[in-house]
Every structure is written in structure tokens, then in C-alpha cells.
Amino acid sequence: MSDSGKFDSSEVERGLTGRPVRELTEPEPLSEHGPAHIIAMCNQKGGVGKTTSTINMGACIAELGRKVLLVDLDPQGALSAGLGVPHNDVDVTIYDLLVDRKADVHDAVHSTAVPNLDLVPANIDLSAAEIQLVNEVGREQALARALRPVMKDYDFIILDCQPSLGLLTVNALACAQDVIIPMECEYFALRGLALLTDTVEKVSDRINFDLEIMGILVTMFDRRTSHAREVMSRVVEVFGDRVFDTVITRTVRFPETSVAGEPITTWAPKSQGADQYRSLALEVLERTAR
Ligand code: ADP
Ligand code: MG
């Protein structure tokens, strides 16, 4: 944030990827909303920043006047908890929407403290969904079917995947236009990404021809270590322009926000972490032309 309190993308330290820094422009206001562009936040490794990025990128896109629905696809329910939704005692969760054709998505949508930001929660019930879906016709399309009635209401639907490449994640990939892959900036992070990109390719070959990898998001970057800088240059070597210019640095502010149950934009609006996710939101809008 600048002194005027307005977000100024030029103040965010970029160029951490080693590439030249580009200017990002604020998008025009929208006069109407929808249809939704669906983004899956995906990495079968746990603890890489999927949920943190879903919450904070979602909140920052909402700050830009876009209507955003976040969908929790992890039985751990960290996304729901991270936004203060009491997911263990709600009536309708994503589980019901996936397995019960009569369940209505409108009954599962919760508003959050952030204007323009809604959530469909999950809890441990969801861990049974894969087994229940496996023998269904169109088992990969259950999520697309469940979300269809609200597609017209949102500009973005962001899916927080669980750390696996199982049927729930395939459901996410089957209905998304784009995948964002958050990855922790550490030595073994690149391992496993081949399997993930392979899965994305298979789904785009067989089920969802529109699916693309929008970008690789480097998270938990520690600028003080040469190790992190080495991993970064390797990531850029492998993925080139697909790596977002915005890099999320490691800070204790993020674990704090999970406890607080709110995004960093309200918990610490002027922090570097908040501005990094604002910068990411601008890149996402640029890459989706919205
Ligand atoms: P995933 O959803 O991929 O399992 P999370 O978003 O839950 O990963 O993040 C795992 C842990 O790391 C959480 O405790 C979260 O608060 C913390 N974390 C996420 N991003 C950062 C960051 N940039 N700096 C420090 N801690 C982070
Ligand atoms: Mg998670």
C-alpha cells in the first residue's frame, strides 16, 4: 500500500523470478457479473500453499470488484476454517452436492466477512465421496453439475483441491478452465510436478479440452537463502513464462491468518503478504482477460 492507502503494484518487490519487472494495471470495473471462470488450485503435495493462496488470491480478486466463490474440496476443511465458517456444523457441504443430485448449491453457499467473497464448505464427510462416486455414471462431472446453477452469479470460482490426484481432484480439473500450481520454494518441490502436469494433460486430452495450466505460483520463498534462489532459477528454467512474476515470500503472517479465520487483506492489510496476493490477483485477471 502507498501512503494514500491505495494499492500500488510497483511497490511490491517483484523480479524475484530473475525476469524483468512488468507494470500491472488495475482492471476496469464490471457492470455485470458471470459467467464464472473456474480455476483449480492444485498440487498433490500437501503444505505448499494451496489453501492459503485460494483464500488470499480470492479475497484480492474480490477486492477488485469481481464476484468470487471459493469451493473447499479437501475433507480437512482448512479453507472453510480459514474463513471462519463453522464447517463441522453446517447442513449442506460440497459432499452433499457431489453425491446427492437433489442437493441445491444455493443451500451450501456461505457469505464471508469479505464483500464479494463466498464459500462452499467441506468437512470430513467429503472423505467418503470418492468411494461413493466411483461407480456412478459421469463420476468425473459431479462437481461441474453441482456448480452449474451458480455459474452465472460469479466471475471466478476457485477450487481448493486436496493433496491427491484422486477422483475429487479430477472432478476439479474436469470443470476448470485453468489450473494454478502453488509450489513451495524448496529442493524437492519439482519432484512430483511431472506427475501433476501429466494428469492435467490427460484430463485435457480426454475430458476437458479447454483445460490449461495458467501458472506456477512460487510460495514460501525465503530471499535470504541461496538455496531458494537456486530452486527459483530451476523452476523458471523448467516452466518459463508460466511462472507468475508474483512470488509469495515466507512470513509468519500467514499461519497467523489461519488462526484468525480471515484473509491477510483484512488481518494485515498493509503487509507485504497482502500486497503480494494483490499483485497475483492482477496477474490472474490479466491472464484471464477479466
Ligand atoms: P496446502 O493447502 O497446500 O496444504 P496451506 O496453504 O495449508 O497448504 O499451507 C501450509 C502451511 O503453511 C499453513 O500452516 C500455512 O499457514 C503456511 N503458509 C502458507 N503460505 C505461507 C507463507 N507464504 N509463509 C509462511 N507460511 C505459509
Ligand atoms: Mg489445503
The domain that holds 218 is classified in CATH as 3.40.50.300
Closest ligand 1 atom to residue 48 Cα is 3
**Measured from the CB, is residue 259 less than 6 Å from ligand 1?**
no
69 is a domain residue: yes
Give strand ranges (E) for 99-247.
110-111, 117-120, 156-161, 178-184, 212-219
Residue at 104 is within a domain = yes
Point out the ligand 1 atom lying closest to the alpha carbon of residue 258.
16
In the block, which residue shows the cell 471459493? 70
Q: Cell numbers 491505495 correspond to what residue?
A: 6
Q: Which domain holds residue 164?
A: 31-288
pLDDT attached to residue 4: 54
Classify residue 1: in a domain, yes or no: no
Taking the CA of residue 273 as reference, the ligand 1 atom at the shortest distance is: 23
What pLDDT is attached to residue 285? 97
Q: Which residues contact 196 (CB under 8 A, 6 or more apart)?
A: 42, 43, 44, 165, 181
- Mutate which of 16, 254, 257, 277 for ligand 1 pocket (most atoms within 8 A of beta carbon): 254
CA of 16 to the centre of ligand 1 (A): 19
Helix 50-63 / helix 272-288 crossing angle, nearest 10 deg? 70
Dist. CA 267–CA 63, nearest whole Å: 14
- Residue 139 Cα to ligand 1 midpoint, Å, equals 30
Residue 5 is predicted with a pLDDT of: 59
Q: How far is the CA of 64 from the centre of ligand 1 (A)?
A: 24
What is the residue-level pLDDT of the chain in tens, covering all 290 positions?
445 556 777 666 667 888 887 888 899 999 999 999 999 999 999 999 999 999 999 999 999 999 999 999 999 999 999 999 998 899 999 999 999 999 999 999 999 999 999 999 999 999 999 999 999 999 999 999 999 999 999 999 999 999 999 999 999 999 999 999 999 998 888 888 999 999 999 999 999 999 999 999 999 999 889 999 999 999 999 999 999 999 999 999 999 998 899 999 999 999 999 999 999 999 999 999 87
* Beta strands 212-219 and 178-184, pairing class: parallel
Note the pTM of the prediction, 2 decimals. 0.95
Q: Does residue 21 lie in a domain region?
A: no
Query: For residue 45, which atom of ligand 1 is closest to its CA?
Result: 3
Query: Cell numbers at residue 153, please?
Result: 452469479
Ligand closest in space to the Cα of 185 = 1
Query: Taking every pair of C-alpha atoms in the chain, what is the biggest distance, in angstroms?
Result: 58
Q: How many CB atoms lie within 10 A of CB 74?
A: 25
Whether 8 is covered by a domain: the verdict is no
Does 202 fall in a domain?
yes
State if residue 116 touches ligand 1 by the CB under 6 angstroms criterion: no
Split into its structural domains, the chain has a count of 1
Establish if 185 belongs to a structural domain.
yes
The residue contributing the CA closest to ligand 1 atom 10 is 47
Dihedral class, residue 84 (left if φ above 0, else alpha if ψ from -120 to 50, else beta): left
Residue 100 placed within a domain:
yes
